[in-house]
Amino acid sequence: MPELPEVELFTRYFAEHALRQKVARVDVRDARILGVREDVLDGAVRGRAFKRVLRHGKHLFADAGKEWLHLHFGMSGDLAYYSEVSDQPRFARVIFDFTNGKHLAFEDMRLFGVVDVTSSPDDYIREHNLGPDPIDDAFTLKRFREIVAPRRGVVKSLLMSQDIIAGIGNLYADETLFQTSVHPRRPVDQLSRDEVAAIYATMRKILRDVIVRKARGASYPPRYLVTHREEGERCPRCGGTIRRTVVFGRTTYFCGKHQR
């Protein structure tokens, strides 16, 4: 399921392939993916070229001149840029045909993604009440402390709530807590100052490192929890036992020994 690092790579892919080419046609193959009327999408991008592309959290925004295309990748969204119709992905939901004869498909087998249009990324972020992007340079430890201070409830839900911090899902919430030795059910108001600082720094390091690794086709480091997500598995950090539970409605893995 795409989280911030994966959407960052989609954004780079979009920038590499789909900028500065005129859109000849918008081919909606399955209107269930649309968050806007088909004629509105068509009117926003047909005959235009995408000038730049940005990411906020798990959201991609492409500037089409007057309006912005917005993509959310849901559970199984992906992008494919190709020349030959025979290379069209099986689950292509919307295809942008460019005047150079090439195509960009938004594919999404499970249809939890969204393709729509917004007046600007800032408007979208405000209207949908999205929190700050955790790897943004403006997202300081001071800002994170301000966000955490009034919160109650368990720490995993804090990390996953898109209105608090935008971009982290189940996988990287678990990874952050694993690497900071914090139990996913710890109440936020019982975290020490050092723990809050550690969560902040580790979360950003993980997201940035995963982007760098994935950008060069590498897999996760062996000491990450992500490669040990199985009940009874041995913890790669302390030799304890990996446990599975449900927190915030999501299957959660943690080390029963070193996460407190």
Size of the site for Zn ion (CB under 5 A): 7
How near is the Cβ of 259 to Zn ion at its closest, in Å?
Answer: 7
Question: Exactly one of 22, 29, 243, 258 binds Zn ion (CB under 5 A); which one?
Answer: 258
Question: CA-to-CA distance for 83 and 88, rounded, in angstroms?
Answer: 9
34 Cβ partners below 8 Å, 6+ apart?
28, 41, 94, 114, 115, 116
How near is the Cβ of 247 to Zn ion at its closest, in Å?
Answer: 17
Q: Judge contact between 23 and 45, C-beta under 8 A.
A: yes
Does position 237 interact with Zn ion (CB under 5 A)? The reply is yes
Question: CA-to-CA distance for 87 and 163, rounded, in angstroms?
Answer: 38
- CA-wise closest residue to 121 among 57, 165, 73, 74: 57
How near is the Cβ of 235 to Zn ion at its closest, in Å?
Answer: 3
DSSP H or E segment with residue 243: strand 242-247
Task: Using the minimum distance from each CB to Zn ion, give the nearer residue, 117 or 225.
Answer: 225
Does position 240 interact with Zn ion (CB under 5 A)? The reply is yes
Q: Judge contact between 119 and 92, C-beta under 8 A.
A: no
How near is the Cβ of 228 to Zn ion at its closest, in Å?
Answer: 10
Window 165-184: contact mask with Zn ion (x via CB under 5 A): --------------------
How near is the Cβ of 3 to Zn ion at its closest, in Å?
Answer: 23
Task: Using the minimum distance from each CB to Zn ion, give the nearer residue, 170 or 179.
Answer: 179
Question: CA-to-CA distance for 203 and 136, rounded, in angstroms?
Answer: 12
CA atoms within 13 A on the CB side of 243: 15
Does position 227 interact with Zn ion (CB under 5 A)? The reply is no
Q: Judge contact between 23 and 47, C-beta under 8 A.
A: yes
Does position 114 interact with Zn ion (CB under 5 A)? The reply is no
Question: Exactly one of 70, 235, 247, 253 binds Zn ion (CB under 5 A); which one?
Answer: 235
How near is the Cβ of 257 to Zn ion at its closest, in Å?
Answer: 5
Question: CA-to-CA distance for 155 and 200, rounded, in angstroms?
Answer: 12
Does position 243 interact with Zn ion (CB under 5 A)? The reply is no
How near is the Cβ of 54 to Zn ion at its closest, in Å?
Answer: 38
Give the end-to-end CA distance of the chain in Å, rounded to a whole number: 27
Task: Using the minimum distance from each CB to Zn ion, give the nearer residue, 89 or 240.
Answer: 240
Query: Residue with structure tokens 């209207």?
Result: 127
Q: Which stretch binds Zn ion (CB under 5 A): 48-56, 98-106, 193-201, 249-257?
A: 249-257
- Which residues of the chain form contacts with Zn ion (CB under 5 A)? 235, 237-238, 240, 255, 257-258
